[in-house]
């Protein structure tokens, strides 16, 4: 599919930089270059060549900027269409000025994700690869980036297409039975289709199970550092960040607001939130801060409860532990540089079964921080690093589509076993096939496509 119109947008982030890029895609791309660029090459623009010259206003003859341009003739371009890229100096004013001339020369402003959507519609990328483009742009850690690059290179697509091919083979088996059976019931099929369908369900279920891990690598997790005043929450946040981000004093109640920063812990983007110390408030301002803590604790993914390892548990400690039984929780004993008083035995009966053992650290001196980050990673990911899946799904609609496909195949399997007419079994298998196709875009509704590409920036 080649679009009839031509789109254009600034493809580099806002602000001042050395170079700014304007991207144009569509049938008018070469004509726009002929209209605005000087000097024109005698033999015309060769595809995938770089040309040095100037952008000139056709109306006034004024030189707008000294540029490099490249013309990429479709289908050998990102969008699959004729594409023009203009590399200007990276000032906001010059980029806007050149873009205005491009629009006057026959292009229209691109919408969010407009270029990548054209790449999808022109079969340059399937939908899972198109989404991987955005995941690459927004990746916050190297493992998250590597996973996104793998999806862009087609690792997820290949796995989906392999499952899809098996479903097609299964459907062919069922329809062959329909053609050759006398009564049209599915119960007279051999055992092979049942074994076949069970194997496909297992493969789909295994892929769907990677969603939590894939989502964490893509989106990260939220972890609240909670505890009573002066246990070292702000010191711990500063230690994990590697810089003094939060004021630390010996005065209880120094931290009033929620302070959130993102760090890379073992390849996972973790949004750490430092909070006000939990105790009976002594002022209206402190009460507001403590109320915010309890609200955040309700919505966070996990809680790091910081306890003073040099002192006995207090009533405030016990209340916090009692209220956190529903959350993944990691107990941490701080101040290991002081004589220890708090022991693991003191937490017996206060933590739910399966809570990891407490980690002893010194936020002040950095002792035990490596053990803490490893334990926190294992808590939220629930998968050791060496067992990380090579191919993971990372979007909720991928998981939903896989679950929908598995449900259809389960109904088909049960129908086969129970003697349901083969025509109805085939309908369930076709629904599963359609559901799988939603991941790569073969059967994705238009409104879903619009919603996916609306998450992109303009210019990509």
CATH number assigned to the domain comprising residue 286:
3.40.50.300
Same domain, 108 and 34: yes
**pLDDT band with cut points at 50, 70 and 90 for residue 49:** very high
The confidence score (pLDDT) of residue 2 equals 56
Q: Which of 152-156, 224-228, 273-277, 283-287 has the weakest average pLDDT? A: 283-287
Domain end call among 124, 147, 172: 124
pLDDT for residue 148 is more than 60: yes
pLDDT for residue 452 is more than 50: yes
Q: Find the mean pLDDT for residues 350-358.
A: 85
- Of residues 387 and 446, more confidence is placed in 446
Domain end call among 107, 124, 141: 124
Q: Give tens-digit pLDDT for 304-347.
A: 889 998 988 888 888 888 877 777 888 999 999 999 888 888 88
Same domain, 12 and 61: yes
- How buried is 237 (Cβ within 10 angstroms: 0-12 exposed, 13-18 middle, 19+ buried)? buried
The confidence score (pLDDT) of residue 173 equals 82
- Of residues 270 and 30, more confidence is placed in 30
- Of residues 448 and 394, more confidence is placed in 394
Domain end call among 349, 369, 387: 387
456 within a domain of the structure (yes/no): no
The confidence score (pLDDT) of residue 333 equals 93
The confidence score (pLDDT) of residue 289 equals 66
181 within a domain of the structure (yes/no): yes
Q: Give tens-digit pLDDT for 130-141.
A: 999 999 998 888
**pLDDT band with cut points at 50, 70 and 90 for residue 273:** confident
The confidence score (pLDDT) of residue 194 equals 85
318 within a domain of the structure (yes/no): yes
The confidence score (pLDDT) of residue 126 equals 93
The confidence score (pLDDT) of residue 374 equals 87
Q: Find the mean pLDDT for residues 400-424.
A: 91
pLDDT for residue 118 is more than 60: yes
Nearest-angstrom CA–CA distance, 159 and 206: 11
The confidence score (pLDDT) of residue 429 equals 92
239 within a domain of the structure (yes/no): yes
Same domain, 115 and 251: no
The confidence score (pLDDT) of residue 251 equals 43
The confidence score (pLDDT) of residue 255 equals 46
**pLDDT band with cut points at 50, 70 and 90 for residue 299:** confident
The confidence score (pLDDT) of residue 447 equals 81
pLDDT for residue 385 is more than 50: no
Structural domain boundaries, residue 432: 131-210+393-441
Q: Is 296 left (phi over 0), alpha (psi -120 to 50) or beta?
A: alpha
The confidence score (pLDDT) of residue 281 equals 55
- Of residues 296 and 107, more confidence is placed in 107
Same domain, 98 and 53: yes
pLDDT for residue 253 is more than 50: no
pLDDT for residue 84 is more than 70: yes
450 within a domain of the structure (yes/no): no
**Strand 108-109 versus strand 221-226 pairing type:** unpaired
Same domain, 277 and 334: yes
When the pLDDT of each residue in the chain is averaged and rounded to a whole number, the result is: 85
- Of residues 55 and 172, more confidence is placed in 55
Same domain, 235 and 299: yes
Same domain, 249 and 154: no
20 within a domain of the structure (yes/no): yes
**pLDDT band with cut points at 50, 70 and 90 for residue 56:** very high
The confidence score (pLDDT) of residue 179 equals 62
Half-sphere exposure of 27 (CA within 13 A, CB side): 5
Nearest-angstrom CA–CA distance, 283 and 274: 20
Q: List the CATH number of the domain containing 61.
A: 3.30.1360.120
Q: How many domains does the chain have?
A: 3
pLDDT for residue 254 is more than 60: no
The confidence score (pLDDT) of residue 188 equals 42
Same domain, 269 and 319: yes
Q: What is the pTM of this model?
A: 0.79
Q: List the CATH number of the domain containing 409.
A: 1.20.120.430
Nearest-angstrom CA–CA distance, 273 and 279: 18
452 within a domain of the structure (yes/no): no
Same domain, 24 and 148: no
Q: Find the mean pLDDT for residues 293-309.
A: 83
Same domain, 237 and 357: yes
Same domain, 226 and 299: yes
Q: Give tens-digit pLDDT for 165-217.
A: 999 988 888 887 776 655 544 444 445 778 889 999 999 999 999 998 888 88
Same domain, 15 and 30: yes
459 within a domain of the structure (yes/no): no
Q: Find the mean pLDDT for residues 63-83.
A: 96
């Amino acid at each position: 599919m080649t679009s009839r119109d031509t789109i254009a947008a600034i493809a580099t982030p806002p602000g001042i930089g050395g170079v700014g890029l304007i991207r144009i895609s569509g049938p008018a791309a070469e004509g726009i270059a002929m209209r605005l660029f000087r000097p024109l090459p005698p033999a015309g623009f060769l595809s995938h060549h770089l040309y040095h010259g100037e952008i000139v206003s056709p109306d006034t003859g004024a030189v707008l900027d000294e540029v490099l341009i490249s013309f990429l003739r479709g289908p050998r371009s990102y969008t699959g269409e004729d594409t023009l890229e203009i590399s200007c100096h990276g000032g906001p004013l010059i980029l806007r000025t050149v873009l205005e001339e491009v629009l006057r020369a026959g292009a229209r402003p691109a919408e969010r994700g407009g270029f990548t959507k054209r790449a999808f519609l022109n079969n340059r990328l399937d939908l899972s690869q198109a989404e991987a483009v955005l995941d690459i742009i927004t990746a916050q850690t190297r493992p998250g980036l590597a996973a996104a690059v793998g999806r862009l290179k087609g690792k997820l697509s290949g796995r989906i297409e392999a499952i899809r091919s098996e479903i097609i083979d299964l459907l062919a088996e069922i329809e062959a039975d329909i053609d050759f059976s006398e009564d049209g019931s599915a119960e007279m099929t051999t055992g092979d289709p049942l074994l076949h369908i069970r194997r496909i369900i297992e493969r789909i279920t295994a892929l769907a199970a990677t969603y939590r891990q894939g989502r964490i690598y893509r989106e990260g997790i939220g972890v609240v550092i909670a505890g009573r005043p002066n246990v070292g929450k702000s010191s711990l946040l500063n230690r994990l960040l590697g810089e003094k981000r939060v004021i630390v004093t010996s005065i209880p109640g120094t931290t009033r607001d929620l302070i959130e920063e993102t760090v890379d812990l073992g390849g996972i983007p973790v949004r750490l939130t430092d909070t006000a110390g939990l105790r009976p408030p002594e002022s209206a301002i402190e009460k507001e801060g403590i109320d915010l803590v309890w609200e955040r604790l309700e919505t966070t993914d996990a809680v790091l409860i910081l306890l003073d390892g040099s002192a006995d548990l207090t009533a405030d400690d016990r209340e916090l532990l009692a209220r956190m039984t529903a959350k993944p929780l990691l107990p941490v004993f701080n101040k290991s540089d002081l004589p220890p008083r708090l022991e693991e035995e003191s937490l017996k009966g206060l933590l739910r079964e399966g809570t990891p053992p407490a980690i002893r650290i010194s936020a002040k001196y950095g002792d035990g921080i490596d053990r803490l980050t490893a334990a926190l990673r294992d808590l939220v990911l629930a998968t050791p690093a060496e067992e990380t899946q090579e191919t993971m799904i990372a979007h909720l609609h991928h998981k939903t589509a896989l679950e929908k496909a598995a449900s259809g195949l389960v109904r088909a399997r049960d129908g086969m076993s129970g003697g349901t007419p083969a025509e109805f079994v085939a309908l369930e298998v076709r629904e599963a096939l359609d559901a799988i196709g939603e991941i790569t875009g073969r059967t994705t509704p238009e409104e879903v496509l619009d919603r996916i590409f609306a998450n992109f920036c303009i210019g990509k």
